[in-house]
Structure 1
Amino acid sequence: MKYYIKNMVCQRCVMAVENIVKELDINYYSITLGEISSEPIVEKKLNELSAKLNAIGFELMDDKKKQLIEKIKSLIISYVHFDPELQKFTMSDYLSRELPYEYNYISNVFSEVEGTTIEKYVITQKIEKVKELIVYDELSLQQIADQLGYSSVAYLSNQFKKVTGLTPSHFKKIRESKRKPLDHL
């Protein structure tokens, strides 16, 4: 049986949910972004699980559309942040491959529930990843563009400026000016 959880965005979230599931002595098969795969959970334990998840900012979901939205978000986050190999696929192909629905349905449900398109959500996630990579200062802007599937640095820069209001180089300067040397802490 699958139970869907809202607001899981990283591996730390998975570990936090796993700790709760173990604490409640729930037999499970796997825990991934946005879902627990387990034996059916009795109502009392399900209520305890829900309360403990809510206490740390997660939400156990029972609405099918909300479950689908969280699965879509989890897949997009994996696509953008965790697995550069997925960039070989278009987002529509990737989502259609991972979910048992056609992309048009997935896109329509996402837009209806979230009030934005999948494409805009992907752009937001990509820009967050660009910010992270700029702050790490390990890759050139060209390497970042290549890693995230942008056709050029100019396209990445234009999209970055539309979303943040800053150019990537200005963002980098601002971030560097906020850093304090260790001897000034």
Structure 2
Amino acid sequence: MKPTTVLIKNMVCHRCVMAVENILQTESIPFHKVIFGEIHLCDELSNDQKSRLLYHLDKIGFEMIDNQTSGLIEKIKQLVIKRARNEMDSETNKIKLSIYISDIVHHEYTYLSSLFSSVEGRTIENYFIEQRIEKAKELLIYDQLTLSQIAFELEYSSVAHLSTQFKKITGLTPTYFKEIGAGKRKALDTV
């Protein structure tokens, strides 16, 4: 019995985790835990289990990552999403993004940045900004926070900084976006 970790692409929310847990339970595949982008199994998958898991994951828009480079890119994306959505404790949020990512994945940031750019066609920083703007869109649509509160929540230095990045990414001001609503939001896995 050898515990193993399987990497999964496109798992970006708690509902994704629940959907994968449901597949594992339905298929009677024993697991320790499921977290963003990872399944921690109790044992290696048999060929039959692997093919059934691949089938069910594909049906809901996920895919198993087989090579190391893809796994590393997916891990970086998961870390960036958590950071951009402010889903970490305040101490971790104080750590510079590059240092945080390097510490977690145990590689130099220059290597990770170069790898990410060559595979994704954009920088880690651009991906981080895009994720923060998607979170800002979500908060604007919910209409429970002011623009100042959203800027504070997403750790922007000012409302002007948030507005500038928002307009650069979306082509719209936050106020105008709020008026036209959810039609302009993207699913996180398509960002």
Aligned residue in 1 for 2:34: 31
Is the Cα contact below 8 Å between 1:111 and 1:117 reproduced in 2?
yes
Following superposition, the deviation at residue 138 of structure 1 comes to: 1.6
From the CA coordinates, give the structure whose radius of gyration is larger.
Answer: 1
The match for 2:113 is: 107
* Structure-2 residue corresponding to 1:180: none
Aligned-partner SS, 1:2: strand
Identity %: 49
Q: Which runs of 4+ in 1 moved over 3 A?
A: none
Whole-angstrom CA distance in 2 between matches of 1:52 and 1:175: 33
Question: Which of the residues 61, 66, 87 maps onto 1:62?
Answer: 66
- 1:22 equivalent to 2:34? Answer no
* Unpaired stretches in structure 2, ≥5 consecutive residues: 183-191
Question: CA–CA distance in 2 between the matches of 1:82 and 1:165?
Answer: 24
Letter in 1 for 2:180: I
Partner secondary structure for residue 30 of structure 1 = strand
Please tell me whether residue 12 in structure 1 is matched to residue 12 in structure 2: no
Deviation at 1:82, TM superposition (A): 5.0
User: Structure 1: where are the runs of 5+ without partners?
Assistant: 177-185
| Count of paired positions | 176
For residue 56 of structure 2, the aligned residue among 52, 69, 73 is: 52
1:149 pairs, out of 129, 152, 155, with 155
Kept after mapping to 2: 8 A contact 1:87/1:148: no
The answer as to 2:140 corresponding to 1:134 is yes
- In structure 1, which of residues 120, 123, 130 is the aligned counterpart of residue 126 of structure 2? 120
